[in-house]
């Protein structure tokens, strides 16, 4: 069955809150939203639904900053993204519910509290080295759902300024989430049954983005938002891990 009314309310509020958080801190909301979705529905549903919502969220940034996209990096990235997404989908299709939730929760904790574990991608540079970045994204997008904290350092290191980074990374995220959504659709995700979940999440993301960028950002410093993000991720991921293990 799809999500019930209370679950839809929780997802809608979480989408708005996490998107507002991203509007202030610059990133992080997508990870929290995935954790909340995974508490509500199976990872096999949460990951593709999250991907569809994130396509909308990243699409706004990519369109508004389209001229700043490093198409050379995206070209090498896509070269490996598509074939390795097939590998990731095969792994995700064989991953049981509780181990899947455990994997997502542990990854979120590592990404937030041990960023040095993924710092090697920050040295990816540009050009052909982004084939490796695309391969990592292809495998991890369908399995852990939100590898953004792992991939961001590579794009940040290879771009010239923050606007170019935001535009290029948003474009890469769209392609990664799109490959995931298409793949899960082939595997048989019942989108018609989850239309309510997708709808409230999309509305929440749009509303949260407006609140975060137009009202909160001028009033709040990014540091408190980043600390709040860590607290929320830790609490939600810990709940996910405990639920998967117990």
Buried b (16+ CB within 10 A) or exposed e, 149-163: bbbbbbbbbbbeeee
How many domains is the chain partitioned into structurally?
A: 1
Residue 37, CA distances (Å) to 31, 53, 58, 164 in order: 10, 11, 18, 30
Range of the domain at 186: 5-245
Greater pLDDT, 37 or 63? 37
Q: Please count the residues of the chain.
A: 246
| Predicted local confidence at residue 87, as pLDDT | 93
- pLDDT tens digits along 209-233: 778 767 776 676 667 767 777 787 7
Does the pLDDT of residue 195 top 80, yes or no?
Answer: yes
The upper half-sphere exposure of residue 199, i.e. CA atoms within 13 Å in the direction of its Cβ, equals 10
pLDDT band at residue 138 using 50, 70 and 90 as cut-offs: very high
C-alpha span between 68 and 50 (Å, rounded)? 26
Greater pLDDT, 125 or 216? 216
Closest listed residue to residue 134, CA positions, set 168, 108, 161, 163: 168
C-alpha span between 206 and 220 (Å, rounded)? 20
Does the pLDDT of residue 58 top 90, yes or no?
Answer: no
Which helix (H) or strand (E) element contains residue 217? none
CB 146 within 8 A of CB 152: no
- Does pTM surpass 0.85? no
């Amino acid at each position: 069955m799809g999500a019930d009314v209370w679950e839809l309310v929780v997802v809608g509020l979480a989408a708005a809150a996490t998107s507002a958080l991203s509007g202030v801190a610059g990133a992080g909301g997508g990870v929290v939203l995935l954790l909340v979705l995974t508490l509500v529905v199976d990872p096999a549903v949460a990951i593709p639904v999250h991907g569809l919502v994130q396509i909308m969220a990243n699409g706004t940034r990519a369109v508004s900053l389209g001229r700043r996209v490093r198409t050379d990096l995206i070209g090498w990235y896509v070269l490996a993204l598509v074939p390795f997404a097939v590998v990731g989908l095969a792994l995700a299709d064989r991953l049981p519910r509780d181990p899947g939730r455990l994997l997502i929760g542990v990854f979120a904790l590592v990404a937030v509290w041990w960023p040095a574990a993924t710092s090697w991608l920050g040295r990816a540079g540009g050009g052909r080295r982004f084939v490796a970045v695309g391969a990592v994204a292809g495998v991890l997008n369908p399995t852990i759902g939100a590898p953004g904290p792992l991939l961001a350092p590579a794009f940040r290191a290879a771009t010239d300024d923050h606007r170019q980074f935001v535009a290029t990374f948003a474009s890469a995220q769209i392609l990664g989430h799109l490959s995931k959504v298409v793949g899960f659709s082939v595997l048989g995700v019942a989108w018609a049954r989850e239309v309510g979940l997708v709808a409230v999440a999309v509305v929440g993301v749009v509303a949260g983005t407006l609140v975060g960028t137009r009202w909160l950002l001028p009033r709040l410093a990014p540091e408190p938002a980043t600390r709040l993000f860590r607290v929320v991720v830790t609490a939600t991921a810990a709940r996910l891990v405990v639920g998967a293990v117990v």
